[in-house]
Structure 1
Amino acid sequence: MSFSYDLLATDGSARAGMLHTAHGDVPTPTFMAVGTAGTVKAMTADAVRATGAKIVLGNTYHLMLRPGAERVAKLGGLHKMMDWPGPILTDSGGFQVMSLAKLRKMDESGVTFRSHIDGTPYHLTPERSTEIQHLLDATITMQLDECTKFPATHQEAAESMRLSTRWAKRSRDAFVRREGYGQFGIVQGSTYQDLRRESADALAALEFEGYAIGGLAVGEGQEMMFEVLDYTTPMLPAHKPRYLMGVGTPDDLLGAVARGVDMFDCVMPTRAGRTARAFTSRGIFNLRNARFQDDTRPLDDNCSCLACTRHTRAYLHHLFRCEEILGPMLLTAHNLTYYQSLMQGARDAILAGNYTEYCDTVRAAWAAGDTDT
């Protein structure tokens, strides 16, 4: 099975396609559940599959620290270790190095840093990041990049982007090409259109199997993020998948799909599930709120997850008030199911040619809120 992307339909800039990989096919648009350390928090692999997820994300930085990439390889690779035979995308570790590591120092060769866990020193280069992802047996490998800070001056953004571009070439050279496996380049350039163009053109010349858009959802706000996507996604090859990194809210996803994005990941639905926040077809609920303590209705009438089909809002409220682990488990499963159903609805609407109407209907229901209370 070769690594390829079939574009099946468009509706405006919105796209529906099929990503073919060594570990299975992924319908797009798609949301990737975040399994940073080889697990989606509070979820078994069966529970993740039950949400409708076809692809998950792991993280180079966390897995290189614990249990170590070489150990994962000896254990049969990440697919076997975490009971996920389907596709896995691994982040390169660059963002986590910048945000979590202690005493980091960056130069042309890569990043030298100390582990946030125990202070052990490491040196992460584009070549080592690519090697680690190979040892993990990632279906999709990401180039090592620098996530440009926001705000950044044009000069700062240009220097950062050009460093990432040079690292992209080294990452590409280090990638071991195998049937059904792919590597994505990451477009940087902050909020500057000319820099995004320079980045996109340079990465396209390296002929990656897919392209990610990085450096967004870092504080610029939704309006500016959408503005950047408006001019960036058309710069990317139409026959390759497009991945918006670290995004986002359900509304972010709808808007980004409308602008031509195919793939997403974000910790938001899992993190929210652990803190009693539920994403629903009627908006966001906080299950700790006392208004739910006698509410015998399902969390979301339109959801097929266990939290919604087997339990009441009152029970979910009770679990969080008592700090029972089942609460985060059920709500995480619900949130991921909701994200998957949102993306499936988007795909169906694009195939039917009514994506704008789909978005209007979904947003109207959010705005109406929980009208029965």
Structure 2
Amino acid sequence: MMHRSRLSSHRTVSISPTCYVMAFALVTTGVRAQGESPATKAPDATQAATQPTFDWPVPGSVTVTEHTTKKGKTMHMRYQVQLRPREVSKDEAGDDATANELLVSLRSFEFVKIDGVDLEQPAVREQLAPALAMAAAIPDLIVDARGNYVGTIGMDETIRRVVTELSKSDGAHGDAKAAQMRAALESPSMRATLEASAGQFWNAWVGGWNQWDVPNGKQRELATKLPLGSFAMPAKLIAQNLGPVDPKEAGGKDGYVKLRTVTLATGPEACKAYADYLAQLFASSMKHSPEAKDFDPDKVKKIDIRTSVEVVTQLGNLRPLSASTTKNHVVEIEGAASQRFFERRVYEFDWKE
């Protein structure tokens, strides 16, 4: 029988008054690298004939079960991913760029299991309600006909709902915290980062693979950049084609391949990019905070960003069987506690034929 434990040890959302922690939370989102991609070079002569093609059913839906591991605990959640044509306004109707855009919506969130927590207990369900509300606040994504992430619809409403939920836990200080948090999230730098990171899961499923041309059994290394608000952190991207997946490991189905990208950012140039981002953050989003002050770029002592993304998919339709992201990040700033972050998310897809 599953024993009861304090839910506080399993919370997925927390509030920190520290500017460094807020900035660190944004850099650990692991948004898709910009610049070069595995498809920017001429295809290798040994490449398989199949080219990546985005071909999800429209309208359609798929059930996703997500397993998230943080701080040694794993949370299992299930939800529906819905895809439908985007309805454009009259002003947008003549714009070819928006003519074939699609909307991706996440709906019907439910917790399946949380390590050490009895989900049948009424008190537990009550404590989980804010987390479900936060999940439901995820804005709809806009993707183009090739499956590229374009942006979001409803980010303002997302910010409002997130601020409302997080400020509830601060009691008498809630209003002040809400104003401070809203100012931070609505700043241009933060908003740009939120827009980019909102598409993180989609890029792990589809957007990061729709131009893939690394041949079976090969890998490619490229210089790339990680967006940080209006700045960019130099990084190295390693793209690996791990080849065909045994049908026994793919539910008896043929045609699946396993692809992986590893993004690494460390060293003086990465530290400088992060320092520039922090300086802008302090100058704008934190101006209403009692902690606000000029930031000394020399205080950034270490950046070590390591993100791995893996997918088992069919190149003919880019409908994944599974996908995962693993982040292992360290940020050290003089005068602040070392920020170490590990997170692994595994996604399993149930396609109804």
TM-score (norm 1): 0.30
| Higher fraction of strand | 2
Using CA pairs below 8 Å that are at least 6 residues apart, which structure has the higher relative contact order?
A: 2
| More helix as a share of residues | 1
TM-score (norm 2): 0.31
